[in-house]
Structure formats: C-alpha cells, structure tokens
A and B are shown apart, each in its own frame.
Chain A
Amino acid sequence: MAKPSNTIQPPAIPDILQKAREDFPILKRTVNGKPLVYLDNGASTQKPQAVIDVLNRYYSNENSNIHRGVHLLSVEATSAYEEARHTITDFIGANDDSEIIFTRGTTESVNLVAHSFVEPQIQAGDEILITHMEHHANIVPWQLLCERTGAILKVAPIDENGALDLEAFKNLLSEKTKLASFVHVSNAIGVINPVAEMIAAAKEKGVPTLLDAAQSIQHMPLNVKELDCDFLAFSGHKIFAPTGIGVLYGKRALLDEMRPYQGGGDMISTVSFEGTTFKEPPSRFEAGTPHIAGAIGLKAAIDYLQSIGLETIARYEEELLKYATVQLRAIDGLRIIGNPAKRAGAISFVMENAHSHDVGTILDTEGVAIRSGHHCCEPLMKRLGVSATTRASFSFYNNHTDVDTLVSALKKVSILFE
C-alpha cells in the first residue's frame, strides 16, 4: 500500500506562543546530550517559571498553616489558598467557591465521589456506567465500590477506531444507574468524547454525571455550567501546576447532601465524644492540612494559561496534531492506534517490528521523551488489539521542530529493527 504523502506545512505559531517556550526552564535542558523534546505531556506537564516563582515566594515569605492562626502568616496563607479556589471557580465557570474541593488529583476526586456521593445511596443490583476507554482511575474505584455494595459496573462499548458507541451508551442508562462517569479526552489515544450529548442523555434519565477532565482541561476551554455535568475532576500536574494537587468540582446541592470523605481537622464544626458535626462544603471534604503551596501553584498555572488563552491553545494544538499525524503516517511500518474524528493532546501508535518499550528507549537516546505501555488503560488496549503503544502527547509549548525530531528518531527505530 502506498504511504500517504507527507506534504503539509508546519503550523504557524501564534505570536503569543512564540515566547511561551522560554517560560519553561526545563525545556532548555539536554537529555543524553540532545536537546529535550518533551512529548509526554499526557503523563505530566512542565511548569512555567511563573509557577516555580510562586512556590518559591510562598515558601520564602508566606508559609504557614491555614484556617488556624490569627497571626499574619496564617492569615496570608489562608487568603492565598482561598484565592486559588476562587480562580478555579472562575476558570471552570462554577457558581460558587464552595463547589471547588481541593484533592490530590483526579484519582482522589473520583474516589471521593465514589465514597461520599455514590456509596451511601447505592444498593446491590444498582449500576455505575463508564466507558471502555477509561483510565484505571475511573475503573478501579468503581470496581471496589461494586465489591463492597453488590452494585454492577456497566461499560459502554467503543468501536475499532476508539470512538464511543453513543447509542449504546444511551441505552445503558436506566433508573438503576446511580452515576455515569466518563473521560472527556482519552489519555491513551486522544479521542474527544461527545460529552455534551452524553451528559444530556444522562440528564434525561435523571442520572448524575462525573466528567474526567484530566486530559481536556489543559487543551480546550471548559465550562461546567454549559456542560451541566454534576461533577468534574482534574489534576494540577497535567495543567502546568505541581503534583499532589487536584480538583473536584461538584454542584453545591449535591455536595450539601454528601457525607465526609476523610475525617480529621478542618472539616468539623464541633467535636465531642458524644458526636461531631461537620462543616459545609467544601471544608467538609478537605480533612487535614491540605497541599497549600500546590493550590497556590495551581492558581499561578491557571493565571498563566489564561494569559495565553485556551482558544488560542486549542486552535494551535489542533494544527500541530494534524501536522504530526500526517508526518507519522508517512513512516513505514507505523500504525496510528485510534482514529477519532476529533482529537486532542495525544497520538498513539505502534511500529511493525519494534515494541513500544524499545521505541521509547531509542527515542530517549535522541532526547525525545514519550510514553510507552498501556497508559493505565488496559481494557482499552485490549479492545484495540494491542498490548502496548507509543504515545506522543503534546502541549502548546511543543512546535513542529519537536515533531520533526520525533519523526527522524522513529526512522532510526525502523532502521535498527527492520
């Protein structure tokens, strides 16, 4: 079969992104003597100087515990932490700061919903609906819940291109479904799900929804009021902020009815051995000293991102992904896994004679960082008939030179393993 042609112009870099790359100090380093080409943004994104500076400033000047002391440092730390919450409220279009719960990341956000929202109201025989392309973080918490309660995990199928079967998803929604939880953008293959339709269909049946936005929030504008999801989860480290901080958004009316997640300080109103009363959301769900610096870093990352604009980022990344797709398709023996109509973030592929792990090592010797393996999506990999893929995942600081370096490194792989 003739290979498709690879004549495509590299995308023009918008003015505002021209300098963005310089904002990320790590992108100046070398790996194995070669300039770093960082294409593992799906796993974690790099941090701009603005975020690093804020962390430095916080620990140098403001560090203290929050919601506790009357002294100045504590007051400053508390207000910085709560300001961070407010930035997120605005960023995702929530109604009120009380709808933003700080967690450790997407994984904890999903577990929180499982424990505090679903578990108290679920009975044996009830159902949770997910899709076949979920990250393990949106599979395993539900399996554990089902084990504890006798509920049943239902999985909406996908086709061989990796696209969701929307009709099947709709048909799996019923009065037994206690929650539909699904990924917005697949971390493994970059598919964008038709989440507006999915949420609308769930609404129609009275089923609450949790959107895993771990791989969409950094690539496109997102608004929880427009989407009308009941919950939304994302991780700070995938949106240019530190690890160990993440967000669960929940509609206030639902949060009000939910039981605490963990017990401890900061989440109680009064404690006595006769009984304890809990605070209102969001504090009810934030037991113990949180990752204060992480929350402040997350605010800095979002401020930075908004100074560029997610529309600009989305448009540029779409062009960059198109360019990369055409270049990759032109490589002999390379097959792209997942062929979505709409893609964001990632391109996954396999090479005829080289295992993804070998591809990863050779790319590393060329300074190119990608991920190989099952991407925490074993069921998806099985469905698509592969055990592992190589995944290049992009961010706005990547450019066509990164793609070209990736492509020439892959050509070396082909030669070594031909």
Chain B
Amino acid sequence: MDPKDLYKQTLLKHSKSPHNEGELIDSTHQAKLTNSLCGDEVTVYLKIESNSIQRATFTAQCCSICTASASMLTQKVQGLPTEEAHYFAQKITTQLQDKDKPLVLSADDELQSLEGVKQFKSRIRCATLPWEAMLASLASSSE
C-alpha cells in the first residue's frame, strides 16, 4: 500500500488550510461527534433558513483525513437545500463504507479525493465522521 493513494494532493491541501473552520456564532443547528477509537472530535455548525443551508462551518480536533473531509463538506453543502444535503451525506458515507463499490461523485468534485480511505479500513471512519456529524446536526432541533 502506498500512503500517496490515501493522502492525495487535494486532500492534503484541505487538511493544511481548511475552509470554514471555526464556530458559527449564529448557527441554528450543531452537533459534535467523537470517534471513540482515536478520540477525534468534530463539531458541525449549520445556519439553516427556509430549509436551506446558508452557512456551514466546523471545529475539530482530528487527523488530516477528517479535517479535509470536514473542510470539503462545508464547501459542498453551503447553499444546498437541507434535504439535498441530507441525501448527499448519506450517499457519500454509504459509498465510503462499501468496500465493493467505488466512490462515484461528479468528475470535478474534490470529495473524490477521499476515495483512498477505502483501501485503509481503519481510516474510513475518519472520512465519514464529519458527514455523520452533519446528519446529527440536521437532526438536532433548532433553538
């Protein structure tokens, strides 16, 4: 196994300078999840208005894969209707977890750079954790 299959350039770029990192003061939804295996922690903050995600940010104490996944997540879901974000989060987590099927996103989707985790079983959860946190965040009731 070559670590370069896992740590693709796009992924490293996002992990070194993540987008939308920080608390979102006027968030309407948020949820924090922990990977008990390694102690990684991700919180996803969403600002939802009229069933659409206006802003998405995250805070994390986690590895490069998790950070990159969270960074790309916030870029991906910003502006999406909640239902669509929900659908996409489910799709990408299922695809990442399914060892028999490839990850198929649109050709220019940076999230494609996560596909390397499929070869590294112990790292799949690192990639899915932010998406699970977003799903939990969507399910959290707004205050």
Interface residue ranges, A against B (CB under 8 Å) = 32, 353-358, 361-362, 365, 372-374, 378, 381, 387-388, 412, 416-417
Q: Can you give 23 A-B contacts (C-beta < 8 A)?
A: A32-B1, A354-B64, A356-B63, A357-B38, A357-B62, A357-B63, A357-B65, A357-B126, A358-B63, A361-B6, A361-B122, A373-B37, A373-B39, A381-B39, A387-B39, A388-B38, A388-B40, A412-B3, A416-B3, A416-B4, A416-B7, A416-B12, A417-B64
Q: Within the assembled complex, what's the spacing in Å between the Cα atoms of A306 and B87?
A: 61
Residues of A within 8 A of B41 (CB): 387
CB of B120 within 8 A of CB of A361, answer yes
Could you mark each residue 115-140 of chain B with 1 if its beta carbon is under 8 Å from any beta carbon of chain A, else 0?
A: 00000101100100000000000000
Distance (whole angstroms) from the CB of A107 to the closest CB of chain B: 16
Query: Would you call B61 an interface residue if the criterion is a C-beta within 8 Å of the partner chain's C-beta atoms?
Result: yes
Distance (whole angstroms) from the CB of B2 to the closest CB of chain A: 7
CB of B3 within 8 A of CB of A365, answer yes
> Which of B63, B65, B67, B126 lies at the interface centre, i.e. has the most chain A CB atoms within 10 A of its CB?
B63
Q: Within the assembled complex, what's the spacing in Å between the Cα atoms of A416 and B2?
A: 12
Knowing A32-B1, A365-B2 are in contact, say whether A374-B39 is a contact too (CB < 8 A). yes
Could you mark each residue 60-90 of chain B with 1 if its beta carbon is under 8 Å from any beta carbon of chain A, else 0?
A: 0111110100000000000000000000000
Distance (whole angstroms) from the CB of B19 to the closest CB of chain A: 18
Total B residues in contact with A, Cβ cutoff 8 Å: 23
CB of A361 within 8 A of CB of B38, answer no
> Which of A354, A361, A417 lies at the interface centre, i.e. has the most chain B CB atoms within 10 A of its CB?
A361
Residues of B within 8 A of A417 (CB): 12, 64
Residues of A within 8 A of B126 (CB): 357
CB of A358 within 8 A of CB of B65, answer yes
Neighbour of A378 across the interface among B39, B40, B64, CB < 8 A? B39
CB of A361 within 8 A of CB of B39, answer no
Q: Within the assembled complex, what's the spacing in Å between the Cα atoms of A285 and B32?
A: 42
Q: Within the assembled complex, what's the spacing in Å between the Cα atoms of A374 and B34?
A: 13
Distance (whole angstroms) from the CB of B122 to the closest CB of chain A: 7
Cβ-closest chain B residue relative to A362:
B3
Residues of A within 8 A of B7 (CB): 358, 416
Neighbour of B3 across the interface among A356, A361, A388, CB < 8 A? A361
Q: Within the assembled complex, what's the spacing in Å between the Cα atoms of A354 and B7?
A: 12
CB of A355 within 8 A of CB of B3, answer no
Q: Within the assembled complex, what's the spacing in Å between the Cα atoms of A346 and B58?
A: 34
Neighbour of A355 across the interface among B37, B63, B120, CB < 8 A? B63
Residues of A within 8 A of B16 (CB): 353
Cβ-closest chain B residue relative to A33:
B1
Distance (whole angstroms) from the CB of A10 to the closest CB of chain B: 27
CB of A355 within 8 A of CB of B64, answer yes
Q: Within the assembled complex, what's the spacing in Å between the Cα atoms of A388 and B61?
A: 9
Knowing A358-B64, A358-B65 are in contact, say whether A372-B38 is a contact too (CB < 8 A). yes
Residues of A within 8 A of B4 (CB): 416
Residues of A within 8 A of B1 (CB): 32, 365
Q: Within the assembled complex, what's the spacing in Å between the Cα atoms of A32 and B1?
A: 6
Cβ-closest chain B residue relative to A359:
B63
Interface residues of B in 1-60 (CB under 8 A from A): 1-4, 6-7, 12, 16, 37-41
Residues of A within 8 A of B65 (CB): 357-358
